[in-house]
Amino acid sequence: MIRGIKFATPLVALALLLAACSGDAATPTPSPTATPTRPAPTPTPAPPEKLSVMTTVYPLAYFVERVGGDLVEVENLVKPGVDAHDFEPTAEDIQRVSGADLLVANGLALEPWMGRMLEALGDDAPSDVIEAARVIIESGALGEEDEDEGHDEDEGEEEEEDHGDEEGEEEEDHGDEGEGEEGEDHGEELDPHVWLDPTYAVLQAEAIRDALATIDSANRELYHDNAAALIADLRTLHDEFTSGLASCRHDTFITSHAAYGYLAARYGLEQEGIAGLTTAAQPSPQRLAEIVEEVKADGLGYVLVEPIVGDRLAQTGRTRPHSRHRERDAERVRRARRLHGADAGQPRQPQACPGVCFVTNSSANGAVLEWDRVTFHYGVGLAVDDVSLRVEAGEFAAVLGPNGSGKSTLIKLALGILRPTGGAVRLFGQGIDGFSDWVRVGYVPQVVSAVWSGFPATVTETVAHGAYRGTSPLAIFRRSERPDVLAALEAVNMTHVKSKRLSELSLGQQQRVLLARALVRNPELLVLDEPAASVDVSGEEQLYTVLRDLNRDRGLTIVLVSHDIGAMLREASTVCCMNCSLVKHGPPHELTSDELSALYGLPVDALIHDALHEHR
């Protein structure tokens, strides 16, 4: 704030009054000079029942306490540290208000929620409601002098929509409120921080005094005496401001939000609010730049902050030239805050050739993949029931079965994607749980999730990722177009689309790219889940030709799930028929039409042409 305002007294008073604005009344430590003494004890015995008064913000609570003394029980709605502008009454708050004899609010849109609250209360609203700032308007004291009060930053100001409602409540006890509507018009443009100017605070105190005296006319004298003491204190404060501010080196002070318009106007000062009239609005960059300029130009050393806003913005406004003042600033801020009460595996066989060279499987015990009494439940449903099955090295095993027969589940169990509920799965003789030699396995799923997300990888990138052999740092910089990748693409006849995005290809083409992705690993076991599902007849023939060559010429073990009975009977060396449990396992020619019909639940003819089996 105020290097110019050299006197501690006004600073303390400002701080105290600001506390009122932010509703921060945790420790309204009265300064001996600036703040009046507590009210004198009332001479008459307290009536059996005290008047219950609700206030919205701390300064009003303080005024009511002073004026009412022991005759009233004051409760304040907006809790310490909460901003009245953004306060939202809880159900309990509303109940407390309904039980009060008098509600004292500030008005002028300081409490935009009040109209809604009173509306919600309906007939339960307190019979007496005064808006202390509005009274000042009605008295005519808030005249031309205030109209140019430098509140040009009121873009953040939230105007109250419900004024009309409050007005209705108010009229009951203010018979002289003929010009209520007029007052409202003023209210929409005026700064609500009236109490920060001691002179206006006097008017508010008088309004409170009159309201109390009307409700409890028996103690009228007492209210008048108490109010007189408060008013005297406020006048003393005014005098201290006047004399204390008379010899300022600067007349500009910076505040976190522009609440000091009335005070500034009264004592010939200039306020620069970082934020606007309400504390909620974040200042724009331009506004901050202006403030920084001003700080530099005028050599201002201090920014007055409220604990409610925090000093981030103020810190922003601070510039290097003033760094030597930082310690002092910090101390000053800390002091102001105190016043506000704010302190409170298996080795992989080496690969010799750089291109695609599909190694012949040489697994010692011959079983590449083994399900041993495997059971699997999806929730309560049994998907795989006690299946025991071995796939030997070099085998081309086809898994057949109707929909929901557990074929894909069997595959997912083999690959460790699902864990069996009972039994064991072994890959290359190792239990699936400890298996880490994944580079020996190639997998072609039916569909990949990337298809739906518009995955940006090119075909080359997709295939290159198949060669993954464990995390390698800086793989991000590795070339995708390598001989092994191109060879794998060549093997599935997809070289011509190598720089396209995967998502630009047809499903059949995607399937072949996925196959290349599996092949680039040089796997010993290739697992495919319905690879021909989205492929046309010629694509299907190409696919099976590739698989046949891989199996026959390179000894690659293949496990393939399919619905295509004809193709499987033609291509596979063994057929496994699944219907939750394993129905049949053996060479295709042993499979009878009756067995197939029983499996699918409809007549199926198995015509196996021996000539096609010659290659086995």
Partner 1 sequence: MPAILQYEFMIRALIGGMLVGILAPALGMFIVLRRFSLIAETLSHVALMGVAIGMATRTLPSLTALAAASIGAIIVEQLRSRGRLPGDVAMAVVLYTALAVAVVVISFAEGFNVDLFSFLFGSILSVSLLDLWLLAGLAAVVVVFVGVFFVDLAQIAFDDDLARVNGVPVGALNLALAVLTGAVITLSMRVVGVLLVGAMLVVPVLVGLRVAKGLRATFAASIAAGAFSAIAGLVAAFYLDLAAGGATVLTAILLLVLANIWVQLRKAAASFRKV
- Is 94 near partner 1 (CB under 8 A)? no
Helix then strand count (H, E) for the chain reads 20, 17
Looking up tokens 């929909």, which residue turns up? 403
- Candidate list 247, 319, 365, 592; residue touching partner 1; CB under 8 A: 319
- Is 420 near partner 1 (CB under 8 A)? no
* Number of amino acids touching partner 1 (CB under 8 A): 68
- Candidate list 248, 439, 559, 560; residue touching partner 1; CB under 8 A: 439
How many residues in total does the chain contain? 616
Binding mask 223-262 for partner 1 (x = CB under 8 A): ----------------------------------------
- Is 394 near partner 1 (CB under 8 A)? no
Tokens describing residue 276: 């606007």
In the complex, what is the shortest distance from the CB of residue 76 to partner 1, in angstroms, rounded to a whole number? 12
The values of phi and psi at residue 486, to 5°, are -65, -35
The torsion defined by the Cα of 140, 143, 147 and 153, in degrees rounded to 10, comes to: -50
Write a three-state SS string for 144-187.
HHHCCCCCCCHHHCCCCCCHHHHHHHHCCCCCCCCCHHHHHHHH
Distance CA 30, CA 19 (A): 12
Let me know the angle formed at the C-alpha of 572 by 571 and 578, rounded to the nearest 5 degrees: 130
Nearer to partner 1 by C-beta: 43 or 470? 470
Tokens describing residue 486: 């191109």
- Is 282 near partner 1 (CB under 8 A)? yes
Tokens describing residue 526: 């290739």
Binding mask 352-391 for partner 1 (x = CB under 8 A): ----------------------------------------
Q: Residues 6 or more apart from 373 whose CB is under 8 A from it?
A: 386, 387, 388, 422, 423, 424
- Candidate list 436, 537, 601, 609; residue touching partner 1; CB under 8 A: 436
- Is 286 near partner 1 (CB under 8 A)? yes
Contact in structure between 144 and 118 (CB atoms under 8 Å): no
In the complex, what is the shortest distance from the CB of residue 189 to partner 1, in angstroms, rounded to a whole number? 22
- Candidate list 313, 356, 494, 535; residue touching partner 1; CB under 8 A: 313
Pairing label, strands 396-400, 270-275: unpaired
Binding mask 443-472 for partner 1 (x = CB under 8 A): x-x--xxx-xxxxxxx--xx--xx-xxxxx
Chain CA centroid to CA 494, Å: 45
- Is 476 near partner 1 (CB under 8 A)? yes
Nearer to partner 1 by C-beta: 71 or 77? 77
Angle between helices 220-244 and 58-68 (to 10 degrees): 130
Binding mask 262-281 for partner 1 (x = CB under 8 A): -----------------xx-
3-state secondary structure of 396: strand
In the complex, what is the shortest distance from the CB of residue 152 to partner 1, in angstroms, rounded to a whole number? 14
Q: Residues 6 or more apart from 329 whose CB is under 8 A from it?
A: 301, 302, 303, 318, 322
Binding mask 400-419 for partner 1 (x = CB under 8 A): ------------x--xxx--
- Is 215 near partner 1 (CB under 8 A)? no
In the complex, what is the shortest distance from the CB of residue 415 to partner 1, in angstroms, rounded to a whole number? 5
Pairing label, strands 128-131, 252-257: unpaired
Touching partner 1, residues 477-516 (CB under 8 A): 499, 501
Q: 128: which strand partners? A: 102
Contact in structure between 299 and 3 (CB atoms under 8 Å): yes
Nearer to partner 1 by C-beta: 47 or 321? 321
Distance CA 24, CA 268 (A): 27
Contact in structure between 406 and 399 (CB atoms under 8 Å): no
In the β-sheet with 422-427, what is the strand arrangement from edge to edge? Answer: 381-392, 367-378, 422-427, 430-431
Nearer to partner 1 by C-beta: 162 or 290? 290
Touching partner 1, residues 63-82 (CB under 8 A): 79-82
Binding mask 140-159 for partner 1 (x = CB under 8 A): --------------------
- Is 322 near partner 1 (CB under 8 A)? no
- Tell me which residues touch partner 1 (CB under 8 A): 24, 79-83, 86-87, 90, 279-280, 282-289, 292, 307-310, 312-313, 315-317, 319-320, 342, 412, 415-417, 436, 438-439, 441, 443, 445, 448-450, 452-458, 461-462, 465-466, 468-476, 499, 501, 521
